[in-house]
Amino acid sequence: MNTIELGRQGEDLAAAYLDSRGMRVVDRNWRSSAGEIDIVAVDGRCLVICEVKTRASNTAGEPVEAVTPDKVRRLRRLAAAWVQAGGGRRRRAVRIDVVAIWWPRGAAPVIRHLKGVG
């Protein structure tokens, strides 16, 4: 499996995981000129912008390590752009989450969900 397929499968797994935790996925792979949001979900009254990082090995570090402070700032700007584009109610609180998936070949994936990273 190449990295694009791994990433796509990781996003599918993350969406199913969030759904199983009572969150409602409302958008996926939303793009603007500023970048992409992997998953937009609603958790109660909170709008959740979710970055998904999937890795088959830890040689490049833990998946969550790829979400830098710059990436979190970009996700905040993307969240505002998503709302502005008509994606949601303006007065809803916004939270940035990361779903980090470690999925070595031939093994079951390990999911780590970090809420409110920035």
Q: How far is residue 8's CA from residue 82's CA, in Å, rounded to a whole number? A: 21
pLDDT of residue 59: 76
Instruction: Identify which of 105, 36, 106, 96 has the alpha carbon closest to the alpha carbon of residue 28.
Output: 36
pLDDT of residue 114: 95
CA distance readout (Å), 88 to 72, 76, 83:
20, 14, 5
Helix (H, G, I), strand (E, B) or coil at 95: strand
Among the four given CATH numbers 3.40.50.11540, 3.20.20.70, 3.20.20.10, 3.40.1350.10, the one describing domain 3-114: 3.40.1350.10
Is the model's pTM score more than 0.75?
yes
Is residue 49 within 8 A of residue 78, CB to CB? The reply is yes
pLDDT of residue 88: 67
First vs last Cα of the chain: how many Å apart? Answer: 32
- Both structure tokens of 7: 């990433």
pLDDT of residue 24: 96
Cα angle value 17/109/39 (rounded, 5°): 35
| Under-50 pLDDT residues of the chain | none
Instruction: Identify which of 32, 23, 91, 79 has the alpha carbon closest to the alpha carbon of residue 51.
Output: 79
Q: How far is residue 40's CA from residue 6's CA, in Å, rounded to a whole number? A: 20
